Amino acid sequence: MERRVTSRRDALRAGAAVVAGLAFLRLDRLVDAAPLQPGEEVVPWLDRPAEVPPPAQSIIGQQLVWEELDAWITPTDKFFTIAHFGPPTIDMASWNLDVTGLVKQSMTLTLDQIKARPRQEVTFTIECSGNTGLPFFWGGIGNATWAGTPLAPLLQEAGVLDSGKEVVFYGTDVGKEKIRDLEISQPMARSMSVADAMNPQNLLCYEMNGAPLDAGHGAPLRLIAPGWYGVANVKWLDRIEVIDTRFAGHFMARDYVTIREETRDGKPVFTETLVGKALLKSAPARVVKGGGGYKITGAAWGGSVAKVEVSVDGGPWMEATIDEGMGSDFTWKFWSLPWPNATPGEHTVTSRATDTAGKVQPAPTDPSIATKKTYWESNGQITRKVSIA
């Protein structure tokens, strides 16, 4: 790929030999996820996301615009936000984090105490499990470098008792819910098993992309749980409680529940499962027209992506080139495929990812997608429409 050799890269190569190792990796990434080269232009998709309806406008912010995807790290001010109950106002003078419940020693930590603990970073692509499941919600994904202190040592210090089974993470944002005649107010909360919570990747995060976490993304503190759908990454965190049973809060048991109508012995059976860990997925990002013809670029995420293929107009699958280099199983990978023989007229572009275990991103007709009655976990193959002049 000639295009990768830029004068910027050459300048860097000539310059900083000492930092070359890291710098080249980063630059490869930058170049591959490049802003448009001179003479290149984006061919906009014909299918457009719908307007976000008023009730959802206060919940969803800053959706990713796929045609503008040109940076592997999503800038914070362009990183989508979800706030089910609206962003809370937090009084930093009184804020602290409680670690409590079935632990030997409850703890209360100030932000300074949390920041004084060992610092760890992870680059992690967060996708909302509702992303691409609704006509107006196609941009609920972003990739950032998060920093904070690992959760596991803190839980170890508190000392989870043998009776402790589940770790519940509470936000400070409170919503009202009516259950039969009862109206309750409760903070956004999610839980995971003690084993999942102890994953050394999990962070109590106070920094995003090298800056203090901003209000929209959960300041002063949020959970970052790499490998999980967005909803598990509780923002505006102020309490962690260990309990001895499954937690059945709103976002565990009533919302973010995937319902499928399956068949058992010829009879319909509704299965209801909890949105949890991320699922394998890919999407075409944009079609670019350049001097040498067209190319299709996109992203793949939600596991250990080994292969991405593209089908034009439902034709044979063509293997795209994945941009290896930086990144991990927790981040999206960018891919591209030249489309030299694009003919004038309307076309469809579909992508599918395969992971290292050989699992393929399901087609919309696959039972895992086709039997789904709810819109969460919409990881089926995505088809976009484009018109070539």
Ligand X SMILES: Nc1nc2c(c(=O)[nH]1)N[C@H]1C(S)=C(S)[C@@H](COP(=O)(O)O)O[C@H]1N2
Residues in contact with Mo ion by CB under 5 A are 82, 128, 230-231
Residue 135 burial by Cβ neighbours in a 10 Å radius (0-12, 13-18, 19+): middle
188 binds ligand X (CB under 6 A): yes
Among 66, 124, 138, 236, binds ligand X (CB under 6 A): 236
Q: State in angstroms the smallest separation of the CB of 113 from Mo ion.
A: 30
229 or 334, CB closer to ligand X? 229
- CB proximity list for 287: less than 8 A, separation 6 or greater: 42, 43, 45, 294, 295, 296, 339, 349, 386
For residues 62 and 151, what is the distance between their CA atoms, to the nearest angstrom?
A: 28
Q: State in angstroms the smallest separation of the CB of 302 from ligand X.
A: 14
Q: State in angstroms the smallest separation of the CB of 330 from Mo ion.
A: 17
235 binds ligand X (CB under 6 A): yes
Q: Are 206 and 145 in contact (CB under 8 A)?
A: no
* Partner in contact with 342, chosen from ligand X, Mo ion, none, beta carbon below 5 to 8 Å by kind: none
Query: What are the two backbone dihedrals, phi and then psi, of residue 217, each rounded to the nearest 5 degrees?
Result: -100, 10
For residues 199-228, which are near ligand X according to CB under 6 A? 217-218
230 binds ligand X (CB under 6 A): yes
| DSSP structure class, residue 342 | P
Query: Which of 200, 209, 225, 166 shows the shortest CA–CA distance to 79?
Result: 209
Q: State in angstroms the smallest separation of the CB of 206 from ligand X.
A: 13
140 or 164, CB closer to ligand X? 140
- CB proximity list for 225: less than 8 A, separation 6 or greater: 192, 196, 199, 201, 202, 232, 233
205 or 310, CB closer to ligand X? 205
For residues 69-108, which are near ligand X according to CB under 6 A? 79-84
- Return the number of other C-beta atoms located less than 10 Å from residue 40's C-beta: 15
Among 126, 168, 280, 287, binds ligand X (CB under 6 A): 126
- The single-letter code of the amino acid at 365 is T
* Partner in contact with 235, chosen from ligand X, Mo ion, none, beta carbon below 5 to 8 Å by kind: ligand X
148 or 230, CB closer to Mo ion? 230
| DSSP structure class, residue 160 | B
230 or 302, CB closer to Mo ion? 230
* Closest residue to bound Mo ion by CB: 128
The three state secondary structure string of 109-137 is ECHHHHHHCCCEEEEEEEECCCCCCECCE
204 or 287, CB closer to ligand X? 204
* Partner in contact with 188, chosen from ligand X, Mo ion, none, beta carbon below 5 to 8 Å by kind: ligand X
Q: State in angstroms the smallest separation of the CB of 89 from Mo ion.
A: 22
For residues 153-182, which are near ligand X according to CB under 6 A? 171, 173
- Return the number of other C-beta atoms located less than 10 Å from residue 54's C-beta: 7
For residues 139 and 280, what is the distance between their CA atoms, to the nearest angstrom?
A: 17
Site for ligand X, rule CB under 6 A: 79-84, 126, 128, 171, 173, 188, 217-218, 230-231, 233-236
